[in-house]
Amino acid sequence: MPHDSTYPQIPGYRIEALIAEGGMARVYRALQESLQRPVALKLMQAAADPSDNRRFLEEARTVAALRHPGIVTVFDIGSAGDQHFISMELVEGGDLESRIGKGMAEDQALRIVRQLAEALGHVHAQGVVHRDIKPANILFRDDNGPLLSDFGIAKQLKLDLKLTQADLALGSPYYLSPEQAQGKKIDGRSDIYSLGIVLYEMLSGKLPFRGKEAMDTILMHLNQPLPPLKKSLAHLQPLLERMTAKQPRQRYANAAQLLQALDELARQPPKQGPARPEPAAKKARVPKPSAPPQGPQPPRNAQIPGQSLRPWLIGGLLLGLFLLFDGPDWVLRQGGLIGPSAPRQADGLAIRWRDQEQAQLRQLLQAGRQALAEDRLSLPAGNSARDHFRQALQLRPGHPEALAGLAAIAQRYLQLAQQARQRGQQEQATRYIQRGLALQPDHPELRGLALEMRQ
């Protein structure tokens, strides 16, 4: 069959249809002639900055090295004239985003997460962080096997066919890990956090954190606890809370630990049927930050003009930014919250963020002091001195007043234990000692009193 002269000529490929286009890139359905294999072929015009061209090809080679059944396969990388191209597996089984909209059973959600965790384990072992785990980036082969896609070339070069310039500056806030949103150095535990948010959405049919504005959503990721699942899914709450712990050190250390936890859950029978997704009319979107007028933007799921197929047919060609284990400056520049094209916007967000964080910190410390004065040491849950000071430490690790507050609670428990012992209430005294040591295990007087009572 002769080549269609309206399409670019790439040696070894016969281009059949345009899938999508945007910025400097176009994605085509093509046939690899040597193997008579259908592929998704992404073409990029040579960038003005030669370093962009080098980075495009270097990162494509890195993704190509990630050979795993759970990762979209890269077949070929090269150049033809002034165009660079990537040939990848053409995936036509849809994406996870559309499946969540139809509702998912617990066993189905856990199976998908397990397969994705296996793929992430391979990715992380190669020194790569995906950085953009979300339902739209999880594709399915015809056999229903999930695939990680969107590993990061498009966003870096501003070629993501679904994102506006404002999106590039802020990224999708729904699945960002706290450390990624803050521009801190990230590792594989950031992907585990994002995967936990995806699992929550699969199980409940809704997002756990969704504010009126993008910054509100980010602050919810930083500060608010994960909402509880309904009672029939409560046995999965500990798994989700560990996956989405605010501090990376409190999460599963790696994908292997997560897989072990999933294996333990697999021994239990499924508890319920499909989760009911939120009605589309109630599914609010996070407003995007202001950007220079660019004309009307298409809705999130609308086809881009010139598309002849759905975006997920791209396979993995929307390669979102993967991140080699680099320093925090790289994360700040490329990590989704702050994009290289929006320094002024990023500065404004950072100032607003710091102001809101400082105000919340003051409120938590004041609430902690008030609760301590009223002897609300550990109860009621969520409104005790212990909870307020711990939340302050999550917001600002090592904050001296919050640490002093926890020390004061332990000291108060010492006083209460001594008083209870004097009244002959040995069991009550023991409970006070245990609560104090739970806060400060090395408290010398509490340890001494506990030793005396055992003698």
User: Does residue 387 sit in the same domain as residue 268?
Assistant: no
User: Does residue 190 sit in the same domain as residue 281?
Assistant: yes
User: Does residue 206 sit in the same domain as residue 330?
Assistant: yes
Listed residues 315, 339, 363: the one ending a domain: 339
User: Does residue 128 sit in the same domain as residue 261?
Assistant: yes
Domain assignment of residue 308, yes or no:
no
Domain assignment of residue 5, yes or no:
no
User: Does residue 288 sit in the same domain as residue 372?
Assistant: no
Range of the domain at 412: 346-454
Domain assignment of residue 236, yes or no:
yes
User: Does residue 381 sit in the same domain as residue 446?
Assistant: yes
Domain assignment of residue 179, yes or no:
yes
Number of domains in the chain: 2
Domain assignment of residue 239, yes or no:
yes
Listed residues 293, 315, 339: the one ending a domain: 339
Written as tens digits, the pLDDT of the chain (455 aa) is: 555 567 888 999 999 988 766 556 677 899 999 999 999 888 876 654 566 667 667 767 777 888 899 998 889 988 888 788 989 888 888 889 999 988 899 999 999 999 999 999 999 998 888 888 999 889 998 888 999 987 753 333 333 333 333 333 334 789 989 888 777 788 999 999 999 999 999 999 999 999 887 778 888 898 899 999 999 999 999 999 999 999 999 999 999 999 999 998 887 765 555 665 655 434 434 343 334 334 333 333 333 333 333 433 333 333 333 333 333 333 333 333 333 444 444 455 556 666 677 888 889 999 999 999 999 998 888 889 999 998 888 878 888 888 888 988 989 999 999 999 889 898 899 989 988 888 888 788 888 888 888 77
Domain assignment of residue 11, yes or no:
no
Domain assignment of residue 15, yes or no:
no
User: Does residue 384 sit in the same domain as residue 335?
Assistant: no
* Structure confidence at residue 3 (pLDDT): 57
User: Does residue 393 sit in the same domain as residue 335?
Assistant: no
Q: Which two tokens stand for residue 97?
A: 């985003």
Per the listing, tokens 């001296």 go with 400
* Structure confidence at residue 310 (pLDDT): 40
Listed residues 339, 364, 384: the one ending a domain: 339
User: Does residue 330 sit in the same domain as residue 364?
Assistant: no
* Structure confidence at residue 403 (pLDDT): 86
* Structure confidence at residue 343 (pLDDT): 45
User: Does residue 364 sit in the same domain as residue 397?
Assistant: yes
User: Does residue 238 sit in the same domain as residue 387?
Assistant: no
- CATH number where 245 lies: 1.10.510.10
Domain assignment of residue 191, yes or no:
yes
Report the catalytic residues. Answer: 132
User: Does residue 215 sit in the same domain as residue 267?
Assistant: yes
* Structure confidence at residue 393 (pLDDT): 87
